[in-house]
Amino acid sequence: MAPRTTNQRIEVGDDVVLPVGRLRLPSRVIEDRGNLGVNGERILRIVTDLGEGAHDIEREVPEDVLELP
């Protein structure tokens, strides 16, 4: 997966990848929280499906840590 270039803006409904250590967790953007982060970073709410039998995890992350698949 290639890192996102600066001209690609992630939108609500987009499928994204959240890198966590060696893992790449497929997720979906469910809300744009706005520029609430440090120095005005854009914060996005995402949901990660961990598979059958596990609960989905929702979290808020800065846009720049996410990758487009």
pLDDT score for 19: 94
Is the confidence at residue 7, as pLDDT, over 70?
no
Output the pTM of the full model: 0.82
pLDDT score for 34: 94
pLDDT score for 18: 95
For the chain, which residues make up each domain, given as ranges?
15-65
How far is residue 13 from each of residues 21, 22, 39, 44, 53, measured CA to CA in Å? 24, 25, 25, 11, 23
How far is residue 30 from each of residues 22, 26, 33, 55, 59, measured CA to CA in Å? 24, 13, 10, 16, 10
Task: Express each pLDDT in 15-63 by its tens digit.
Answer: 999 999 999 999 999 999 999 998 999 999 999 988 888 889 999 999 9
CB 16 within 8 A of CB 28: yes
Is the confidence at residue 4, as pLDDT, over 60?
no
